[in-house]
């Protein structure tokens, strides 16, 4: 199977170009980094990517604020690289006040205007407003966000030839459920990225990745 370098995906009203390198791990795509550890291409691009991959990627975030942060990072990554997003991660945390769900959910136009002039983050109105919308959707859930995602564990996530696709039937279903729950900017491809990042699918074990 030949993977395109970039794919164009629809996100329920928004179309964005996404680098497949930054959403999936391919079987022969592990790179030996300068510290002697092997990582997928997207995670080989600098120490911020190393730390995120080694310490967080493929594991449940735990606290609600970490879940919201993971969703926000997934949204902000649309159209850019993980290296760019993780380079602004601390600034995003400060700008969104630690990603505390109830606090971000209460944001209005004043906070949006503040974020749009914050030079430390991506000043993209759609992504900023999507993060606020997703915080409101998360705050309105009757169960932890992680439990919503965990319902999609155990589904096949490999193509017939053993490669990892850019999305799956399960991620398409998850994207639909998240849309129904009020989330935005999480289409099938972004949902699959989220499933990988949060350990819903055993992607680390599949590639025999350490940690």
State the CATH number of the domain containing residue 191: 1.10.340.30
Q: What is the count of structural domains for the chain?
A: 1
127 domain-assigned: yes
From CA 85, how far away is CA 76, in angstroms rounded? 7
26 versus 93: which is more confidently predicted? 93
Contact 199, 60 (CB under 8 A): yes
192 domain-assigned: yes
4 domain-assigned: no
pLDDT at 68: 98
55-106 residue pLDDT tens: 999 999 989 999 999 999 999 999 999 999 999 999 999 999 999 999 999 9
Q: Is 185 left (phi over 0), alpha (psi -120 to 50) or beta?
A: left
82 domain-assigned: yes
Residue for token pair 């705050």: 139
Percent of the chain at pLDDT exceeding 90:
69
From CA 209, how far away is CA 203, in angstroms rounded? 9
Confidence of residue 209 (pLDDT cuts 50, 70, 90): low
Beta strand pairing call for 15-19 and 6-10: antiparallel
50 domain-assigned: no
Confidence of residue 200 (pLDDT cuts 50, 70, 90): very high
128 domain-assigned: yes
From CA 167, how far away is CA 12, in angstroms rounded? 15
71 domain-assigned: yes
Q: Which domain holds residue 126?
A: 62-201
Which of 6, 13, 167 has the alpha carbon at shortest distance from 80? Answer: 6
pLDDT at 120: 97
Rg of the chain on CA atoms, in Å: 16
**Residues sharing a CB contact under 8 Å with residue 143, sequence separation 6 or more, in sequence order:** none
Q: What is the pTM of this model?
A: 0.84
pLDDT at 130: 98
Neighbours of 118 (CB within 10 A): 16
Residue for token pair 């505390």: 100
pLDDT at 164: 73
168 domain-assigned: yes
């Amino acid at each position: 199977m030949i993977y395109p370098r970039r794919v164009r995906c629809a996100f329920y009203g928004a179309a964005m170009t996404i680098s497949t390198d930054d959403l999936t791990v391919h079987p022969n795509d592990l790179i030996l980094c300068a510290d002697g550890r092997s990582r997928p291409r997207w995670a080989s691009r600098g120490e911020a990517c190393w730390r995120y991959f080694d310490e967080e990627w493929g594991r449940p975030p735990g606290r609600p604020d970490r879940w919201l942060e993971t969703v926000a990072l997934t949204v902000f990554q649309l159209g850019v690289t993980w290296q760019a997003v993780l380079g602004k991660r601390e600034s995003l945390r400060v700008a969104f006040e630690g990603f505390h769900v109830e606090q971000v959910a209460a944001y209005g136009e004043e906070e949006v205007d503040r974020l749009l002039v914050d030079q430390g983050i991506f000043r993209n109105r759609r992504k900023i407003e999507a993060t606020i919308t997703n915080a409101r959707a998360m705050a309105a859930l009757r169960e932890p966000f992680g439990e919503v995602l965990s319902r999609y564990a155990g589904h096949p996530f490999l193509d017939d030839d053993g490669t990892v696709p850019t999305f799956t039937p399960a991620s398409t279903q998850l994207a639909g459920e998240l849309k129904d729950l009020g989330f935005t900017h999480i289409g099938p491809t972004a949902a699959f990225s989220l499933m990988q990042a949060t350990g819903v699918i055993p992607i680390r074990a599949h590639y025999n990745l350490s940690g």
